[in-house]
Amino acid sequence: MFFQRFLLLFGLSSSLAAADFDLVVYGGTPAGLSAGVVAAREGASVVIIEPTKWIGGMVTGGLCHTDVGKQETIGGFPRDFFFAAARKTMTPSLWYEAPKTNMAVFNDMLARAGVKVVTAQALKSVAKEGVRITSLTTDDGTTYAGKQFIDASYEGDLMAAAKVSYIVGRESTAQYGEPLAGYHPMPIRPRTVEVMESDCPSLGGKGPAYIHGTPSSISGLDARGSPIYGVFPDPKLAPGSADKRTQSYNFRICVTQRKENQVPFPKPANYDPTKYELLLRLIQAFPGLRFGRLFHLGNVAHNKYDLNAQGLFSTDYPGANFDYPDGDAATRARIWQDHTDFIQGMLWFLGHDERVPQSLREQTNSWGLCKDEFADNNHWPYALYVREGRRMIGEYVMVQKDLQTDIFKDDSVGMGSFLIDCHIVQRILADDGTVRDEGSFQDTPALPYQIPYRSLIPKRAECENLLVPVCLSASHIAYCSLRMEPVYMALGQASGLAAVMSMKDGTPVQSIDVAALRKKLLEQKAVLELPSLANMVRSAKLPGIVMGEQEAEQTGHWTGSSYGNPVDGTSIHDANSEKGSKSVTYRLKIPAAGRYEVRMSYASAPNRVRSLPVSIEHADGTQTVIVDQRKTPPIDKLFISLGTYRFTPEKPAVIVISNKDTDGIVGADAVQLLEVK
């Protein structure tokens, strides 16, 4: 086997045809590399085909301040990789190594495993016999036959070519019952520059890394009354409607202030300052705005930073990617170049346009590209950040509840934990002529959740020898949390092992012994569950009718929290701000007429509201009950009774929590109805 792999690795002939493999992986992303390495370690002959010139996707292509969520959910191959990268340069921080180091570690792993790698060859066609892929052909005419296939691309090209069901864009709220789903125009959230910067992690603040919502009333019209560049007409969709649009892309740029390792930001050949009119208006609306507030600067090893987007106008390029997921090669190349020109042009604009305050120009020019990164690409990142492409519709579609309430899965092959985070989809023109951020929403907490094997496999009737660890079967909302590189790598590890099991057993990927797969993953130190979740109060296990805060209607911005022991692991609070503008409305369907005790859960604390009015709408009218959230709830230290009322199926029970006229932090968790016999 070693000799055979040696021949394959160096392209020599052997008893196995040069383009005939046990496993063909399309997409040299971290998930694809993970899948290929673990499969080769199990004795399979593996080829990884990457359409660009470089392997490693975002981890070697710019994203080096890695988002991990809860570190304890990451084990197996991804943890081994990040440990190896940290050891290579003796970096104390596990997740924040430079791109060139990550590339070196991946290359070493591939060489040791004997995986053949083909770069700069895109998928041309796929051959199938019945519901099995038999081979794929690349642009240069080479055909790669295989027993098993994995689509680890960010776009889902192999999956689509194999006629596996998929979706592009956003589902409606109604499709899967997801409160966050669909079209989401954000209101203006007025902020001062001081508040904006105090919230900003890049400037030492403690707020979220990505700050959502338009921070001021900014006109989106030019002198002729037409939308300025990058602002779209309002599509007039109802909130929660489905569409074909997806969250914005960008480049994650490796930057430094070390002059000896710095290359100035380049001026693109297609530079057009009119593209930055909205940016200029944002700067003018906030005098003194700093470079570190316009961009998120994630600290990386060796005095380097991962420059990412944050806020209304940054390196995200809303609306410019809509044709990318299903686009042909020419369309994608155009979009890729357009993103390069736009982001390079933005940095040039900030550093050189005389309308930009001198202090901000000087701050911008104190930064530059890292001279020792991406040297064969003019120091520009290798990878366009395709945050979301196609998404498979497979054996099981993960949705919002799978991240927050229905988090346990018997066929778990990995875990996620990152918050539900969507970047801007588009900037729209409101009726009053001002700009609105659409598509993003306030970062919403997710619990550590299990990812089922079923979400990696197509429907049996469509393909039985394909696994999809990146464009997996998930709604847009679920994907907003799943889309983290360590998660992709964990799912790649599971996919590589599953492909080998399917091949050895002669069974479809839908019929493998998942218990045996889980056993193998655990032997390889993968994390499939967390013991700490065993004591969590689960709404599914509570008697009666229960609705959590995530299923309720939320008005205004509520902050997620895991303080105390909330039902299903999370609750929300009003941060003691914007009094009178925030409410949570629970609408519970009543199965049978009768009298029900209404209970409400909350976490008590000294800084909580002293006198919270809670409204209960029942069959005989409306009752308001005052709750002191400073006091420990009397029922199991979790719930308080709000009284017993008559309800009928014709009218839902409506419980409303509002922060109007309140004098402390208002919390909202679950509401429970218990029938009284």
Contact 360, 290 (CB under 8 A): yes
For the chain, the C-alpha Rg in angstroms (whole number) is: 26
Q: Residue 280 has what pLDDT?
A: 98
Q: Residue 548 has what pLDDT?
A: 93
Q: Residue 263 has what pLDDT?
A: 98
Kindly report, residue by residue over 315-346, the tens digit of the pLDDT: 999 999 999 999 999 999 999 999 999 999 99
Sheet holding 667-668, edge to edge: 559-561, 571-573, 667-668
Continuous segment of H or E residues that includes residue 290: none
Contact 524, 39 (CB under 8 A): no
Copy the structure tokens of residue 278.
């909205």
Three-state SS at 533? helix
Kindly report the length of the chain.
677
CA 183 and chain centroid, separation: 17
Q: Which long-range contacts (CB under 8 A, 24 or more apart) does 516-520 make?
A: 517/413, 517/453, 518/411, 518/412, 518/413
Q: Residue 50 has what pLDDT?
A: 98
Three-state SS at 593? coil
Q: Residue 1 has what pLDDT?
A: 41
Contact 293, 196 (CB under 8 A): yes
Three-state SS at 503? helix
Q: Residue 186 has what pLDDT?
A: 87
CA distances from 169 to 58, 438, 445, 545, 626 (A): 21, 14, 22, 33, 43
Q: Residue 9 has what pLDDT?
A: 43
Exposure string for 11-27, b = 16+ CB within 10 A, e = fewer? eeeeeeeebbbbbbbbb
Contact 268, 388 (CB under 8 A): no
Specify the amino acid at residue 253. I
Specify the amino acid at residue 457. I
Instruction: Assign 3-class secondary structure to 435-484.
Output: EEEECCCCCECCCCEEEEHHHHCCCCCCCCCEECCCCCCECHHHHHHHCC
Contact 89, 101 (CB under 8 A): yes
Spatial distance between the Cα atoms of 25 and 7, rounded to a whole number of angstroms: 19
Contact 367, 352 (CB under 8 A): no
Helix residue ranges, H only, 183-267: 193-198
Residue ranges of the chain whose pLDDT lies below 70: 1-18, 191-212
Spatial distance between the Cα atoms of 455 and 395, rounded to a whole number of angstroms: 6
Q: Residue 201 has what pLDDT?
A: 57
Kindly report, residue by residue over 175-188, the tens digit of the pLDDT: 999 989 999 898 88
Q: Residue 16 has what pLDDT?
A: 39
Contact 55, 106 (CB under 8 A): yes
Helix residue ranges, H only, 353-462: 358-365, 401-404
Verdict on whether the full-model pTM lies above 0.85 = yes
Specify the amino acid at residue 625. V
Pairing of strands 368-370, 132-138: unpaired
Q: Which residues, in sequence order, are CB contacts of 104 under 8 Å at separation 6+?
A: 88
Contact 181, 187 (CB under 8 A): no
CA 488 and chain centroid, separation: 11
Q: Which residues, in sequence order, are CB contacts of 236 under 8 Å at separation 6+?
A: none
Question: Residue 58 — left, alpha, or beta (φ > 0 → left; ψ -120 to 50 → alpha)?
Answer: alpha
